[in-house]
Structure 1
Amino acid sequence: MASPPENTSERAPKRSIRRRSLLLGTAVLGAAGALGAAGCSRVPTGDTLARLKSQRTVRLGIAGEAPYGYINDQGDFTGEAVELAKVIFKRLGIGSVQPVATDFSSLIPGLNAQQFDVVSAGMYINAERCKQVIFADPEYQMLDSFLVRKGNPKKLLSYQDVVRSKAKLATGAGYAEIDYAISAGIPEKEIVILQDPVAGLNAVESGRVDVFAGTALTGREVVKNSRKAEATEPFAPVVDGKKKVDGGGFAFRPTDSGLRDAFNVEIHKMKKSGELFRILKPFGFAESEMTTMTAEELCA
């Protein structure tokens, strides 16, 4: 998820997904996001961790996208990032998490505008984003995958295959896959930008596009109940002649290094004990998608 401007970077892919759920998540922003914006001038400066402990609540920016952060069929906020946040912030002395849903491309601007305290959307860590925020070390690593029609009639297994076959490619708003497609030689003006993987699946099933590019996890989760589409085998995008493996993690404001460092301490404990994988596994993650990469490596 190279390194695009934030409004054209990734996102990151997705389980029992319903457009109702995504719309509900966006609706939450109307209330919570507005409150965050209205309260910007009153947000205390200094030790953010101490402030959040005092408030007993942390606001999490999510993108309304399963399996990272979304509203389930029971109307509850969940997802790997949300559930991980609940565990880690409780251990940091913050008992309540308040997810705030927005479009993926609005997560970093919203974080820096103090509409929420942390971004927990499984966001890919890359150099361009590292100029705007600081990241905890990634909780997972990920390859790409395509959503295609059953049988993959155009034999699309890489971005280079899309160029060769002149297939019509779509991806999500703010996804890193935009840059991967451009790097492969697909003109930016020819890339179809859709709201989310559900819209991508619908576009592939209806034949409006030939392929929707997202993460491997996105692919295998979103097609589970589809009779018309399938996900390709995971692959590493090639950027500047090198294969790219991405990692996703929590993002913090640059002034909140103390909060990020405390978060990192806890996530490394969970990696070592295996607890991290136990939390992520129910959301479709494979053990091979756990990672020892660091944010510093991915930011380089």
Structure 2
Amino acid sequence: MAPPQGNDMIGRSVGRRSVLAGMAAIGAAAAVGCSRVSTADTTGGGNLLERLRAQGTVKLGIAGEIPFGYISKKAEITGEAPELAKVIFKRLGVPNVQAVPTEFGSLIPGLNSQQFDVIAAGMFVNPERCAQVLFADPDYEVLDAFIVRKGNPKNIHSYADIKKSGAKLASGTAYAEIDYAVDAGVPRGEIQIYPDQLAGLLAVAQGRADAFAGTSLTVRNVINQTKNPKVEGTKPFLPKLDGKPAYGAGAFAFRKGETQLRDAFNEELHKMKQNGEVKRVLKPFGFTDTEMTELTAEELCKK
């Protein structure tokens, strides 16, 4: 990955943003700001934004996953979502952010039980989650890609190609890509599972797997960082699940009823999209034009 954090940036992929179980335990050094927030009045659009302005600090629920939201080796909250939050909330009159680390699967329960004010973990927007939380519009979208041997000898460009060629597929623990492959007819039991994209790259380079499936961001970043001459990345593509496009679009999430805060947040986010600020903020974490999106929460909640 390209960011200045160097090797800190080789971490878990975004696969856990599927409806699969949340993962990634947080280190003890990241246990910051775990006190419960005060109960909000969510009638009439909610009053959370007013309360945050009064107290000057917003508590962000993060899942300790690079590059989306994590605690750096300098014990600072960072990642694509926290860095966006720092800019947007400051413009909304809330100058400080505080991290509340938790496992990914506990983010929605933690938000709704008032453990923190907003989820800032690059969470994928889908109808199931839309029934539980209020999403801002996505700030990024990721496609899928494969790590393959140099020259792509098995001509792999899709999950259908994996099935057709009989190639040995690998992916990461609980990655959404596993379900995409199974949907295309690849037997689940034949998919090799590795802890992260670096281990997957090594499996391909050493010939233990023909392809490692991950997001285009994951694939591009690990290849750029390792510079392994035996592998390359395929062209990004939009996967399918149950015959429908499987959009990987991540966004901030708020408690149901907090429409005033969500709308104010969206207004600033859209300004940053229009003037290119979103891309500039996300660039140090490996995001490019490919990951910029105009998808809305409204349309994703209906898909």
Match of 1:126 in 2: 126
Q: Which residue number corresponds to residue 147 of structure 1? A: 147
2:132 is paired with a residue of what secondary structure? coil
| Structure 2 match to 1:170 | 171
Q: In structure 1, what is the equivalent of residue 299 of structure 2?
A: 297
The alignment status of 1:31 with 2:26, answered yes or no, reads no
Secondary structure of 1:148's counterpart equals strand
Q: State the Cα RMSD in Å.
A: 3.2
Letter in 1 for 2:51: R
The answer as to 2:38 corresponding to 1:43 is yes
AA aligned to 1:171 is G
Aligned to 2:70: 70
C-alpha displacement of 1:59: 1.9
- Give 2:249's aligned residue: 247
For residues 1-300 of structure 1, what are the structure 2 equivalents within 5 Å?
15=3, 16-18=6-8, 26-28=26-28, 31-32=31-32, 35-36=34-35, 39=36, 43-46=38-41, 47-72=47-72, 74-164=74-164, 165-173=166-174, 175-191=175-191, 194-201=194-201, 203-205=203-205, 209-226=209-226, 227=228, 228-300=230-302
Cα distance in 1 between the residues matched to 2:2 and 2:189: 27
Tell me the secondary structure at the aligned position of residue 156 of structure 2.
coil
* C-alpha separation in 1, matches of 2:145 and 2:63: 20
Structure 1, unpaired ranges of 5+ = 1-12
Indicate the SS of the match to 2:31: helix
The answer for the alignment partner of 1:10 in structure 2 is none
Deviations 1:143-186 (A, max 9, x none): 1112334444443321112223252332343x433432232223
The question of whether the paired residues in 1 share the 8 Å contact of 2:169 and 2:210 is answered with: yes
Distance 1:194 1:14 in 2: 22
Residue 107 of structure 2 aligns to a residue whose secondary structure is: helix
Q: Distance in 1 between matches of 2:103 and 2:211?
A: 22
Which one has the largest radius of gyration? 2
Aligned length, in residue pairs: 281
The TM-score, its normalising length taken from structure 2, stands at: 0.78
**Does the CA-based 8 Å contact 1:25-1:71 persist in structure 2?**
no
Q: For structure 2, list consecutive stretches of 5 or more residues without a partner in the other structure.
A: 13-23, 42-46
TM-score, normalised to structure 1, is 0.78
